[in-house]
Structure 1
């Protein structure tokens, strides 16, 4: 029952994510005007706006003008529904589901916006940083890594909320700071901007939610995905290496992987490659 509810909520919220992806970069309010056909401008009634199902019933066309509706709308709804299920398997159905599904949904929105417009809106990244810090304060639990760091600095802190706050702020500094440093180094070496400041703020948001280790994991995986896709893109399109790829898209995908499987992948990496070398 809970799994079904998580999937249904994911699908319904996915419909809202489509609105966010379309309207936020255009600075159009997400609550008005009501959803309408991009071709004939006719309002879309609720029965034509049921996630995925309405698209299938209408065979991917507007009820009024019969023009094609982008298949990306049901795709995003399906991805959102799948995320609802995967976050449920990881965290159960409760407050943690709300927090981490909401975070994953924000990453999904940013991934598509960056793909379309090469921007990462401040309304998501900057607000997301504070929400991530507050979420960690609410979910405060044991944090051995932060405890060791504070003890090494001469502070014996045991209060879980203080540890959660420090861990989240360290994530902001490491996630945003590392990417900013890489961008500055690239600028000095090549004389051109390697990434926008939106990527820095996005990674500060990831660090606020997931902490420093997962921020590092996200940067590494996002860079790997970007490199693989970039090389394939150049190979098959003939584009030069100066072509701007949407790095935020790859960071968004990597951030979602970090939410769902980051702990397991890091542990597997250490077991397979680090421990045998010691």
Structure 2
């Protein structure tokens, strides 16, 4: 435990600091959400050009990473000044528009920052000052990144899901996580095979792919962090929320005469997984008392 005298004496101050830290991290998460898919696309182009030189394709000369180039407006390409890059406040000050070309800036940027701050607040409030809390915050930040990338691109990057899985196993192995190593490994196996089986059953009977392999890996990672016992809750919560919002999206698509019928399942898995990490025991007790009792 990180029970220093300062933390014990000023618990509210540290809660505020953790929340502010989460908001700042949210600004970096926006960078990951925007750039990581582009970085993946660049790598795919390079791999294709190297493997199939007989099919010439255009590969960007300048490689993008999470630090370079510096933040810029995607429309006018002007480098953003630090004063215009303050989380939430800059968006409010600029009234949601680029300071140089006046292009509208999506409200999602401050929302991601606010969401990161809120989740940091709730996570710290629930677990208190401990080493495990730090890793739970990392868990939450990775889930936010994965959820929004999946919502944008229908992709769940291995560079997020696999480190999430291995980090959870490491924490169980070292005893930092309250989930035993046996429960974590079982959670990974059942989590992956659960959606993998549904995928193949759906494909056999319909000839279509109902979900991607990234969903299998994400549920496996959630099984590691929460234990195999939480998997039914995660699947149920994600299915109910995904189905409800999916029906709404279908109705909206038909209303606007759009033909898009694909949905990203990752955001709902991520939300259910984080929810279970914090309140799994409460949900199970409620279920046993009210449903089985």
Q: Smaller-chain TM-score range?
A: 0.7 to 0.9
Shift in CA distance, 124/142, structure 1 to aligned 2, threshold 3 Å: closer
1:126 to 141, 156, 162: 162
2:261 to 238, 243, 253: 243
| Stretches (4+) displaced over 3 A | 138-143, 239-242
Shift in CA distance, 229/241, structure 1 to aligned 2, threshold 3 Å: farther
Question: Does structure 2 conserve the Cα–Cα contact (< 8 Å) formed by 1:175 and 1:216?
Answer: no
User: Matched residues in 1 for 2:252 and 2:35: separation?
Assistant: 32
Cα deviation 1:111-145 (Å, max 9, x = unaligned)? 111111000001111121111111223344766xx
2:237 to 221, 239, 262: 221
- Is structure 2 residue 198 aligned with structure 1 residue 182? yes
Q: TM-score, normalised by structure 2?
A: 0.82
1:262 to 271, 277, 280: 280
User: Matched residues in 2 for 1:123 and 1:251: separation?
Assistant: 17
Q: Number of matched residues?
A: 255
1:69 to 93, 105, 122: 105
What's the secondary structure of 1:124's corresponding residue? Answer: helix
What corresponds to 1:17 in structure 2?
29
2:149 to 93, 113, 133: 113
What corresponds to 1:172 in structure 2?
188
Shift in CA distance, 197/46, structure 1 to aligned 2, threshold 3 Å: same
Q: TM-score, normalised by structure 1?
A: 0.86
User: Matched residues in 1 for 2:95 and 2:251: separation?
Assistant: 35
What corresponds to 2:47 in structure 1?
none
Cα deviation 1:192-244 (Å, max 9, x = unaligned)? 11111110011111112221122332122111111111222223432899921
The within-5 A match list for 1:135-150 is 135-140=171-176
What corresponds to 1:148 in structure 2?
none
Question: Does structure 2 conserve the Cα–Cα contact (< 8 Å) formed by 1:6 and 1:93?
Answer: no
User: Matched residues in 2 for 1:67 and 1:190: separation?
Assistant: 44
- Is structure 2 residue 131 aligned with structure 1 residue 101? no
User: Matched residues in 2 for 1:240 and 1:174: separation?
Assistant: 37
Cα deviation 1:52-101 (Å, max 9, x = unaligned)? 01111121122222222111100000000000100011111332221111
What corresponds to 2:5 in structure 1?
none
2:246 to 216, 225, 230: 230
Shift in CA distance, 231/66, structure 1 to aligned 2, threshold 3 Å: closer
- Is structure 2 residue 274 aligned with structure 1 residue 274? no
Shift in CA distance, 177/240, structure 1 to aligned 2, threshold 3 Å: farther
RMSD: 1.9
Give the C-alpha shift of residue 31 in structure 1. Answer: 1.6
Shift in CA distance, 242/85, structure 1 to aligned 2, threshold 3 Å: same
Shift in CA distance, 40/93, structure 1 to aligned 2, threshold 3 Å: farther
Shift in CA distance, 180/241, structure 1 to aligned 2, threshold 3 Å: farther
